[in-house]
Amino acid sequence: MSHKHLHLLRSLFQDPPSGNIHWREIESLLHHLGASVEPVHGARFRVVLNRHEYFLHHPHQGSVFGRQDIKHLREFLARAGVSPSSYEAQHEAGEKAS
């Protein structure tokens, strides 16, 4: 995981949630985590990660996610088994195997 993605993942899980996270950053992180992101209807996107499904709404005004949207995304990532600590552990294990 790049430092950029790890920093974003940490930002998503911090309290209070950041109010300055952009759609393109979240989409990039989800793809990096191996999620499929498919447009469904209008501003809705279907995200599937580790066999967990979530419907994500593209922000209507600008491209910055609201704090409530970030909380919902954080809950989805946690259900899918993704957290900063789990990803750091996986990254360290990958470096040791190399």
Mean residue pLDDT across the chain = 87
CB 84 within 8 A of CB 9: yes
pTM score, two decimals? Answer: 0.85
CB 47 within 8 A of CB 76: yes
CB 1 within 8 A of CB 32: yes
Q: How confident is the model at residue 93 (pLDDT cuts 50, 70, 90)?
A: low
Give the pLDDT confidence of 26-55 residue by residue, as tens digits. 999 999 999 999 999 888 999 999 999 999
Lowest mean pLDDT among 28-37, 56-65, 69-78, 85-94: 85-94
pLDDT at 13 (0 to 100): 93
Radius of gyration of the chain measured on its C-alpha atoms: 13
Q: 85 or 50, which is more confident? A: 50
Binning the chain into helix, strand and coil, the percentages to the nearest 5 are 50, 20, 30
